Structure 1
């Protein structure tokens, strides 16, 4: 056998061996790109699966949750709020069952009821706001309602505490006065004969401090900017239950000097006027 023929046979044997070794190796594939939201944020499976509503009915309690379409633009917040609200509703249902069982079933009494409705406030380039309204009935003359507010930093993907919106001085007296003025204006709008309230009043009702009341951003007259803050005041806080709840708007001009530098540019112009009643 000539040297050239021997080299050719060795080459064929090596190629055959390599082919056999690679036959069982899975083909390499390029992983699919991660799904992203419109803002470019990666959408995790948990985020993508967060529903827009929840409902549960048992003999002891009926509970429900609704979310606004606007929350789809913030998938991290969507998943977080859905999980927290559903947890609250399930705890309510479990508590209702325990309560009613201990009371012997309360024959003839309907199931307890709790609903959570999340609705949009205004949105700016940096901030996104939502209103959470809880309404529950466990017997008695009427259901009870309460408000909470969510302020979300879209770039940082985290919730902003109400205090973070303002400077660290802690002096919100100007905002307290502006809120009290707006409350009295709304009371007089509803009933010209309504009694006014004050910050230092000794009567049953008085103006609350701004730091104790949840608020969301107010729609503004300038695109992409908030024109003020909408304070969410529940029944009994500034008047009898028959007065109902209040959503009172304070223009940004009344508290602009109090805004933290990080968020001052999110406010401009004035609150957008409410549509005229027809």
Structure 2
């Protein structure tokens, strides 16, 4: 599961960025002072190997063009590293059976004048059967100097219900297809459908928090043609099934998208 510290960093970074945008005066053509723009943040890849831990972090070069976005990425990586080092400190000098490990890759997904999106994927291993997954998405709007957040994108309960319903349908279809491919039948199939359905129901309840990680899918004209919602391991399926996604087309989202963001979407 995601580290509480990392989840808190995501929330705080978003709130800080939004607050800064709310405080900043609207830019003008002859503005001389970039007071609302954060100082440049150096995003440097990290490769560190020690007897008791290993760290590997990589960033896309394009993110450095957007200081506030770079700041959010670095805050996420710093929080993940801090969690790892806290666990290493808990060893009190003893060598673990397997080195503790942080592997985190930031990947540029979209880079247009209107929308920049970056994916964070990785894991942090601090003992146990497997590492803790790290999954996050950052959608930056350069012209608005704002991080796009799920709870600001969709403005009504009907919208979240529609997204919830569509997500559940796609995930249940995928589950059924997987069981077909694995030739699971009889009581085993019924049990897996029951368990899978319960996880999907819990992980897709119509609330912004369940859809906080998302990435835009762009058309050739640079508009958002769909939103791909990303569910980390454990949210809607067991760990072994990895990260799951669903894709909701713009036409289904637009009736519920906040007016300020509709022009970003195909048909908006």
TM-score (norm 2): 0.69
Give the superposition deviation at 1:108: 5.6
Q: Does 1:111 align with 2:107?
A: no
Give the superposition deviation at 1:170: 3.6
Give the superposition deviation at 1:196: 5.2
Listed one character per residue, the Cα deviations across residues 104-131 of structure 1 (whole Å, up to 9, x for unaligned) are: 61x4623211122212333554232222
Give the superposition deviation at 1:258: 0.5
- State how far apart, in whole Å, the 1-side matches of 2:255 and 2:195 are: 23
- State how far apart, in whole Å, the 1-side matches of 2:195 and 2:153 are: 25
Q: 1:95 aligns with which of 86, 89, 99?
A: 86
Give the superposition deviation at 1:164: 1.1
Give the superposition deviation at 1:136: 0.9
Pairs within 5 Å for 1:162-173 = 162-167=150-155, 169-171=156-158, 172-173=160-161
Listed one character per residue, the Cα deviations across residues 165-203 of structure 1 (whole Å, up to 9, x for unaligned) are: 122x3431111111112222333444435755799x6x4
- State how far apart, in whole Å, the 1-side matches of 2:238 and 2:221 are: 38
Partner of 2:65: 73
Q: Does 1:155 align with 2:139?
A: no
1:186 to 1:214, Cα distance in 2 relative to 1, 3 A:
farther
Partner of 1:144: 132
1:183 to 1:244, Cα distance in 2 relative to 1, 3 A:
same
Q: RMSD value over aligned CA atoms?
A: 3.2
Q: Does 1:62 align with 2:54?
A: yes
Q: State the secondary structure of the residue aligned to 1:254.
A: helix
Give the superposition deviation at 1:261: 0.8
- State how far apart, in whole Å, the 2-side matches of 1:260 and 1:94 are: 41
Partner of 1:250: 248
Aligned 8 A contact 1:130 1:216 in 2: no
Give the superposition deviation at 1:71: 1.6
Give the superposition deviation at 1:70: 3.2
- State how far apart, in whole Å, the 1-side matches of 2:121 and 2:60 are: 13
- State how far apart, in whole Å, the 2-side matches of 1:178 and 1:124 are: 28
- State how far apart, in whole Å, the 1-side matches of 2:238 and 2:176 are: 15
1:55 to 1:125, Cα distance in 2 relative to 1, 3 A:
same
Q: State the secondary structure of the residue aligned to 1:100.
A: coil
Q: State the secondary structure of the residue aligned to 1:224.
A: coil
Give the superposition deviation at 1:80: 4.0
Aligned 8 A contact 1:151 1:162 in 2: no
Aligned 8 A contact 1:226 1:267 in 2: yes
- State how far apart, in whole Å, the 1-side matches of 2:121 and 2:237 are: 19
Q: State the secondary structure of the residue aligned to 1:249.
A: strand
5+ residue gaps, structure 1, are 1-40, 270-278
1:92 to 1:59, Cα distance in 2 relative to 1, 3 A:
farther
The structure richer in helix per residue is 2
Partner of 1:213: 211
Find runs of 4+ consecutive structure 1 residues off by over 4 angstroms. 193-199
1:217 to 1:226, Cα distance in 2 relative to 1, 3 A:
farther
Give the superposition deviation at 1:134: 3.7
5+ residue gaps, structure 2, are 1-32
- State how far apart, in whole Å, the 1-side matches of 2:100 and 2:125 are: 6
Listed one character per residue, the Cα deviations across residues 243-267 of structure 1 (whole Å, up to 9, x for unaligned) are: 2221221212222111011111211
Aligned 8 A contact 2:104 2:134 in 1: no
Aligned 8 A contact 1:197 1:205 in 2: no
Max radius of gyration: which structure?
1
